[in-house]
Structure 1
Amino acid sequence: MTKSLKAIAQKLMTPGMGILAADESEGTIGKRFDKINLPNTLDLRRDYREMLFGASEAMKTYISGVILTEETLKQEAADGTPFRAILADADVIPGIKVDRGAFPMPGDTGEKITEGLDGLRQRLAQYAELGAGFAKWRAVITINDIAPTRNNIRANAHALARYAILCQEAGIVPVVEPEVMSDGEPGNHSLERCAQVTGDVLENTFKELRLAGVDLAGMLLKPNMVLPGINSRERPTVEEVARRTVEVLKAHVPAAVPGIAFLSGGQTDEEATAHLSAMNRIGGKPWPLTFSYGRALQNVALRTWAGRRENFNAARAAFTHRARMNALAAQGEWTNEMDRAA
C-alpha cells in the first residue's frame, strides 16, 4: 500500500509536468460561464471538460494528473467515451475533489471550516473503484483584523489530517490544500503577514498529519504562494515572492513530502507562471515544485471555446500554450519573452 502511494505521488511530480485542477463545483463553473454568457447546463459542462481533456499534446506532455468532480469522474464525452478512458490514453492520473465546500465557522470572525468528512470512507472506496489515484481537500484560511484564530487553524488542520489518513487507507494519495487567501476580504494584508500565517498553518497541518499517522511520503502538498492581499498597496517583485515562499516552505514542510504543487489563487495567468519559475531557480530545496492550477491554465481556453464545439481546436491550442509555459516554469526555464513570443 505505502509503496503504491509513493509511486502515484512520484508520478504526479514527474519533472516538467503538473496537475490540472478541473474540479470546479457546479456553482463555481456557473460563475465562470456567466462571464462569457453561457448557461450552466450538464451538456456544456461536459463539452468544456471534453475540450480540455482532448488536448492530447498538453495532456500527454505537460499534465500528470487531473482533479475532477464526482460528476466528471463518472461522465462521458459526447461520443460515449468515458473521461476516465480519455485520461488513461494520455497516461494521466485521475483525481477527485472530496470535500463538500467551506462553510462559515461558528462565531463572528469571518472564517470558514471545510466540511465533508461524514461518509468519506465509503465515498473514497467508490472513487478508488472508479480509478481515482489521488484526491484533494481544500481548507480556506482567512486573514483579517481578528483572523485567523487558533481555533480555525487547528480545526481545519485536523480535518485535513482526518481526510488524508482516510485517503491512504483507501489506497488514494491525498493532496493536502491549506489555502491562505490573498483575495479574500479585506485583502489588505502584507507579504510578511501572509508569510507568518502560512507558516503557522503549515506547522499546525503537519503536526496534525503526524498525529493521525499519515505517511508523508504518500501525500502531496498544495499550498498558496506567499503574497500580499489583493487590495494591498504592497507590490513585491517576482523574486521577493519566490524567495519568501521558499523560505516559509523550507521552515515548515518536511523533506519527506515527495512534492509541492501550488494553487494559483489571486494571481493572473502570467504571475502564477513567473512566480513558479522563479522559485524553481532557487537551489537547495528538498522537494520538487510544480503547478496544480485551475484558472491560470483555463482562462484563455475558456474564453476561446465560448461554448462552441467548432472552437475546440483553437481552445485546445490556448490551453496547450499555458500548460507548456507552466511546465517550463516547473523547471525554472520560463521567461516572459518566451511566453509572449509563443
Structure 2
Amino acid sequence: MGPKQQALLATTQALLVDDKGLLAMDESIPTCNRRFEALGLPQTEDARRDYREMIVNTPKLGAFISGAILCDETIRQKTLEGTSFINVLIDSGILPGIKVDMGTQEMAGHAGERITEGLDGLRERLTQYGEMGARFAKWRAVFSIGEGMPSQSCIETNAQDLARYAALCQEAGLVPVVEPEVLMEGEHTLEQCSAVTEEVLHEVFSQLYAQRVILEGIILKPNMVLSGSTCPKQATVNEAADATVTCLLQAVPAAVPGIAFLSGGQPAELATARLNAMNVRFKSRLPWALSFSFARAIQQPALEIWRGDKMNVKAAQQTLLHRARCNTAARRGDWTEDAERIGAA
C-alpha cells in the first residue's frame, strides 16, 4: 500500500471515528437564500457568512462532528476576527470538506430527470481545494421516482460521473463522499424506493470498480429507503430501518468502510430515530459503519432560533450541538425520545 493510499484510508477512518458524523453545510447560494427568505433574513453574502460563523464557532462541536462539508463560498470565508473557517474547524478537530459538483441540470431528452455537472476543470479545482486544506470532497447525483423514472440512461450517466469524480478525488489525495440520492418526493411506496435505490447503488459500484476507485477510501452518502413523501402508506421507523439495511446489504460491498446517510428533507428528530433504529437492530452484523451526513436535520432547528440576531447565537449553537449529540447517540444505538426531550429542554 502506497503513501497516498494510506493517507486516504487514514482520512476515511478519521471521518468515521468515535461514532461521530459529518455536518453538511454546503448548500448552494440559491438554496441558502431560499431558507433565509422563508425566515425573513437578508439574502446577502454577509448574512450567509454570519450564519456559517455561528455554526463553525459552536463550542464542543468536534466532540460529535468529524467533518464539515463546505461550499466554494464558505471555504474562502473568515470569521469577523479574521480566522479562516478552515482553521476554525481544524482547531476544533473537524476535517474540512468541499462540495465540488456544480449542481444539477435537466437531462437532455429525459423530461423530469437531472444530471449533475462539474467535471470540467475538476482535477485543477481539487488540487486547489487540497492546497487550501480540504481533506475530502462531495458530489451529489439525484434520481426521481415516477412514470418511467429513473431511466437506465439517467442512472448510468450519473453513476459514471460519480465514479469519475471519485477517481479524480483519490488522485488528488481527497476522500470522495459519493452521494447518489433517490429523492423522497413522490407517491412511491417503500418497496419501490428500495428497488430503485438498489438498482442505483449496483450501477454506482459497477462504475466505481470500472474507474479503479479504492473502495476502502470512500464514504457512501445514500438516501434512506423511505416511503415517498406523498405516499398514503408511510412506513414505520422500524420498517424503514429494515428496508434500508436490507437494501444496502444487497448492493454495498463490505470493503466500503462507512455509510453516512443524507437527511433529504426528513424532520430532524425522525432522521435521528431512523438512524438509531438501524444501529439498534443491525449494528453488530454489518460490515460498514452506519453514520450521518445531515444538513437540514442538524442545521434547521438552529437556523430558526438564530434568525440573524446576535443575541440568539448561543441558543442556536446549543440547539445545533444538541442535534449533533443526538445523532452520535443514534450511531451507537443509544438515542431515546426521553433523551431528545431532556436535551432540547
**TM-score normalised to structure 1 length:** 0.98
* Matching residue of 2:334: 333
SS where residue 281 of structure 2 aligns?
coil
Q: What aligned pairs does 1:195-274 form with structure 2 within 5 A after superposition?
A: 195-274=194-273
In 2, the alpha carbon distance for the partners of 1:15 and 1:22 equals 21
- CA offset digits 1:139-185 (Å, max 9, x no partner): 000111110000000000000000000000000000000000012xx
Q: Which residue is equivalent to 2:45?
A: 42
Contact 1:109 1:147 in 2 (8 A): no
**Can you list the C-alpha shifts for 1:239-270, whole angstroms capped at 9, x where unaligned?**
00001100010110001011000000131011
> Could you say which residue in structure 2 is the equivalent of 1:148?
150
The one-letter code matched in structure 2 to 1:125 is T
AA aligned opposite 1:182: M
Match of 1:303 in 2: 304
1:167 aligns with 2:166: no
Aligned position for 2:90: 88
2:109 is the alignment partner of 1:110: no
Could you tell me how far apart the structure 2 residues matched to 1:341 and 1:63 are? Answer: 21
Distance 2:172 2:155 in 1: 26
Say whether the 8 Å CA contact 2:105–2:117 is kept in structure 1: yes
| Counterpart residue type for residue 201 of structure 2 | L
Deviation at 1:91, TM superposition (A): 1.0
Q: Kindly indicate whether the alpha-carbon contact (under 8 Å) linking 2:265 and 2:297 is maintained by their aligned counterparts in 1.
A: no
Deviation at 1:15, TM superposition (A): 2.7
What's the CA shift for 1:282?
2.3
Letter in 1 for 2:264: G
- Over the matched positions of the two proteins, sequence identity in percent amounts to 51
Structure 2 counterparts to residues 131-142 of structure 1, below 5 A: 131-142=133-144
Following superposition, which runs of at least 4 residues in structure 1 exceed 6 angstroms of deviation?
A: none
Where do residues 44-59 of structure 1 align in structure 2 (5 Å cutoff)?
Answer: 44-57=47-60, 59=61
Q: Which amino acid aligns with 2:338?
A: E
Are 1:16 and 2:15 an aligned pair? Answer: no
Tell me whether 279-288 or 87-96 shows the greater mean CA deviation: 279-288
Q: Is the 8 A contact 1:47 1:309 kept in 2?
A: no
Distance in 2 separating the partners of 1:234 and 1:15? 36
Which range is displaced more, 306-315 or 3-12? 306-315
- In 2, distance between residues paired with 1:236 and 1:100? 33
- Secondary structure at 2:240's aligned position in 1? helix
SS at match of 1:147: coil
Q: Give distance in 2, aligned partners of 1:119 and 1:273.
A: 37
Contact 1:105 1:112 (C-alpha < 8 Å) held by counterparts: yes
Counterpart amino acid of 1:77?
T
Superposed counterparts of 1:64-83, under 5 Å: 64-83=66-85
Give the deviation of 1:108 after TM superposition. Answer: 4.0
CA contact (8 A) 1:12 1:64 kept: yes
SS of match in other structure, 2:216: helix
State the SS of the aligned residue for 2:96.
strand
In the alignment, which residue of structure 2 is the partner of 1:286?
A: 287
Question: Aligned-pair distance for 1:109?
Answer: 3.2
For residues 181-196 of structure 1, the aligned pairs below 5 Å read 181-183=183-185, 187-196=186-195
Q: Counterparts of 1:39 and 1:220 in 2: how far apart (Å)?
A: 35
In the alignment, the residues of structure 2 paired with residue 16 and residue 324 of structure 1 have an alpha-carbon distance, to the nearest angstrom, of 10
TM-score (norm: length of structure 2): 0.97
Which amino acid in 2 is paired with 1:29?
Answer: C
Contact kept? 1:15, 1:331, Cα under 8 Å = no
Please give the per-residue CA displacement for 1:186-243, whole angstroms capped at 9, x wherever unaligned. Answer: x000000000000000000000000000000011000000011101011111000001
Shift of 1:94: 0.1
**Partner secondary structure for residue 335 of structure 2:** coil
Is the 1:255–1:287 Cα contact (8 Å) retained in structure 2? yes
Superposition deviation, residue 336 in structure 1? 1.2
Q: Which runs of 5+ in 2 are unaligned?
A: none
